[in-house]
Amino acid sequence: MSRAATRAACLAFVLLAAALAAPATADAPKRIVALTPFSANTLAALGVKPIAIGQTLGGDANFAPSLRRVRTLALAHPNGPNMEQLASLRPGLVLSSPTWTRGNRTMRNLDMRVEVPEPLTVLDMYERIEDIAAMVDRERGGRRLVARIKREISRATRALKSRPRVMLVLGVGRTPYVFLPNSWGGYIMQLAGARLVDANAESRSGFARISDEAIVDADPDVIIGVPHARAEDLDGIRDYMRSNEIWKLTQAGQENRIYVWGDDALLQANLDVGSTISRVRTRFLKNR
């Protein structure tokens, strides 16, 4: 082989190797807006920085530290984000929520690519993570992230010593709703070893309105209140839950096992399932 031919062959080999090694990002959207904490945190875990993230009005969602400096879009009914603001960002991909069905339609009319990869329970979270990873061309990272979360959950759910009857109560203001097994928090509670008390309520949304009387009638061993309100109103609802005289009539009340959850980890999809389960078991179920 001549010297020129050898050089050409080497050059071709180097170019081929470089092409194979580089991430195939040609089709991956560059300007991504993530309107839910789950999609924003998934992107962050995959090493992708969105150009904007959504935060509901008065909300206090937990975001990954790498998202702290990312622009925030206020979300409010009926559309979700302000459409003018969103259009001005020229997003190549919007990761939205079923809550903003009306806004999603408008975004599509504005020629935006809109996907709704929001899981309802831990069971469909893995698939949603892989969906997001595929959208941003990080399939391998997605698989690794899923494997990591599964490992964390497996560690957190080991050696259950007891399975107390737990009622998880969402406090929208002073109105109680019970978490059902098909809710995010309800499913996590079962993974943590709780026998979820749902007072025979059913709802596709995962939450059902319940009366204080029904809570007393169900008589759970543990009550965990999850306040849902504007940040400035949370303390008042926490106090109300802790001092609810009717709840104190239950087994949970008699044994001082009425607790109040502090953040949104039981309310909406997030990647820290393992640590949430550990917190639930250690602080509330005491079944380690």
Partner 1 sequence: MSGRRVLVVAITVAALLAGVGASLALGTIDVPLREVIDSLLGRAEEGPAKQIILQLRLPRTVDAILVGAALGVAGALLQGALGNPLASPDVIGVTAGSGFGAILILLAFPGSIALLPVGALVFGLTAATLVFVVAWIGPDGGGAGRLILAGIAIAALFAAGTTGLMTAYPDRVQSAVFFLAGGLVSDGWDEMKVVWPYFAVGFVLAVSLIRPLDRLALGDDVAASLGTRPRLIRLGAGGAAALLAAASAAIAGLLGFLGLVVPHVIRMAGGTASHGFVVPVSAIGGAALLLAGDTLARTVKPPLELPVGPFMVVIGVPMFLWLLRKAV
Could you say which of 11, 76, 147, 246 contacts partner 1 (CB under 8 A)? 76
How many chain residues bind partner 1 (CB under 8 A)?
33
Could you say which of 28, 51, 83, 216 contacts partner 1 (CB under 8 A)? 83
Residue 79 binds partner 1 (CB under 8 A): yes
Residue 77 binds partner 1 (CB under 8 A): yes
Residue 55 binds partner 1 (CB under 8 A): no
187 or 284: CB nearest partner 1: 187
All residues at 6 or more sequence positions from 134 whose CB lies less than 8 Å from its CB, including other chains: 142
Could you say which of 55, 66, 82, 251 contacts partner 1 (CB under 8 A)? 82
Residue 62 binds partner 1 (CB under 8 A): no
User: How far, in Å, CA of 32 to CA of 218, rounded?
Assistant: 46
HSE toward the beta carbon, residue 106, CA cutoff 13 A: 13
Interacting positions 169-188 with partner 1 (CB under 8 A): 172, 175, 177
HSE toward the beta carbon, residue 198, CA cutoff 13 A: 19
177 or 284: CB nearest partner 1: 177
Least distance (Å) between residue 49 CB and partner 1: 21
Residue 74 binds partner 1 (CB under 8 A): yes
Residue 12 binds partner 1 (CB under 8 A): no
Residue 201 binds partner 1 (CB under 8 A): no
Interaction site with partner 1 (CB under 8 A):
57, 73-74, 76-79, 81-85, 87-90, 98-99, 101-103, 105-106, 109-111, 172, 175, 177, 203, 205, 207, 209
